Structure 1
Amino acid sequence: MEYVRAFLAGGLLCAIVQLIIDRGKWTPAGVAGSLVVFGVLLGFGGVYDPFVAWAGAGATMPLCGFGYWLAKGAMVEPRPEGFVETGAAVFRFAGALFAFIVAGSFAAALTCKPKG
């Protein structure tokens, strides 16, 4: 059942985003940036936590989940002082996610042919 909830939640988030891109006047880059900021705001507000507990990877893998993990990284570290220490706390918490993104992007660049 966990897989079904993750599929439904992630699919619903992606469908909503696709509708925003198709029907709205937003660019894909604007929507992507907004999703990360939206995830950070919901993560700091504690609103995204119950959704993550219910949906699992369906809530954490889209871009709003990326923003959620960035917010969690800043909240978990015991009182970082200053901008640099706050950034370090975020990267310590979400470092594995960044490594996965970079490795996956590199593998996709090696295996996919660009249109041209």
Structure 2
Amino acid sequence: MDYWMAFLIGGMICGIAQLVMDIGKFSQIHVMSGLVIAGVILGSIGAYDSLIDIAGAGALLPISGFGYLLIKGILSYKMENGWMSIGSGIFQLAGLELSFTIVLSFFIALICKPKG
């Protein structure tokens, strides 16, 4: 059942993004930025936590999960060190995701030989 919920919730997030691009005529970068901002807003008010409890990786893997990880890093670092040092906590949780993406992109570029 967990796999179905992850599939349905992740697919719903991606489906909403696709509808916004198709119906609203927004570009991909606008929709991607909107999803990150939505993840930050929902994560800061605690609504994304319940979505992750239901869907697990289905809610963390879309780009809105990146915004959620950014705000969670900021909020956890603020609790430990106060507001003056939240800039160093931004990539506390999202750093692993960024590192994995960069390394994976490098190896895919070696295998696929991009034309650019």
Which 4+ residue blocks in structure 1 deviate beyond 6 angstroms? none
What is the 5 A alignment of 1:1-116? 1-77=1-77, 78-82=80-84, 85-112=85-112
Calculate the aligned-residue CA RMSD, in Å: 1.8
Inter-CA distance 7–95: structure 2 relative to 1 (3 Å threshold): same
Instruction: List gaps (5 residues or longer) in structure 1.
Output: none
Inter-CA distance 115–25: structure 2 relative to 1 (3 Å threshold): farther
User: How many residues were matched structurally?
Assistant: 114
Instruction: List gaps (5 residues or longer) in structure 2.
Output: none
CA distance in 2, matches of 1:87, 1:98: 17
CA distance in 1, matches of 2:7, 2:115: 29
Of all paired residues, the percent bearing the same amino acid is 45
In structure 1, give the amino acid aligned to 2:101: I
TM-score by length of 1: 0.87
Inter-CA distance 20–95: structure 2 relative to 1 (3 Å threshold): same
TM-fit CA distance, 1:110: 2.8
TM-fit CA distance, 1:106: 2.0
CA distance in 1, matches of 2:112, 2:8: 28
